[in-house]
Amino acid sequence: MKNLAVIFPGLDYSVDKPLLYYAGKIVKNFGFDVVKINYGKFPEGERQKMVDYAIMAANVAVNKIAFEMYDAILFISKGNGTIVAGGIQQNLSRKVYNIFFAPVNESIPLFMEDCLVFTSSNDDKINISEVMKRRGEITFELQVSKEADHALELGDIQRDISMLRKIEEICQRYIEKRFTIENQGAEDESSHS
């Protein structure tokens, strides 16, 4: 079985920052191939111009991936990267699992069945009532902090490390549950043929 994880950073949250860095390590430990999207240098201007540029740059990178080589695909995204990942997922003709870290309002309609969402009711970039409304429409895992900021941090290093550990443990369980069961099913089918 061959699995792929594609990591979509935020506009100012790189793949080397804690949430994405450790999620990347987790998927590598599960044997995934990992592609880290690099948007390049953003144009000057307002946020929407930067998001549009990120979408364009990510599409160029994703179009080079031979998705048909993989049995399962996982997108991991943060902040505005959740808009990019969600949009690209909609253009693929196969199931994509998603882990959304601190999504923004525009990505709420892009949540799909069985994704994993980490957010905070203290994050001013998302409307929690809209997240809950979406959760009433489809089934997905949701982790909501009451006090974390948009980086899913609490402002105290010891508490931040503790929270990061909990987040990454939840990610590991999510990945393990979806990909080891899925892989086991495929292995069982091949052993019966």
Write down the mean pLDDT value for the chain.
93
> Among 162, 172, 181, which Cα is nearest to 141's?
172
pLDDT recorded at residue 104 = 98
Dihedral of CA atoms 59, 60, 62, 66 in degrees, nearest 10, equals: 140
Predicted confidence at residue 1, as pLDDT, reads 85
Distance CA 191, CA 193 (A): 6
Mean pLDDT (whole number) for 32-59 = 94
Given a cut of 60, whether residue 134 has pLDDT beyond it is yes
Beta-strand runs (E) in 57-145: 72-78, 97-101, 116-120, 141-145
Surface-to-core class of residue 69, CB atoms within 10 Å of its CB (0-12 exposed, 13-18 middle, 19+ buried): exposed
Task: Give mean pLDDT, residues 89-102.
Answer: 95
Contact residues for 153 (Cβ-Cβ < 8 A; gap 6+): 160, 163
CATH tag, 3-192:
3.40.50.1820
pLDDT tens across 105-133, in order? 999 999 999 999 999 999 999 999 999 99
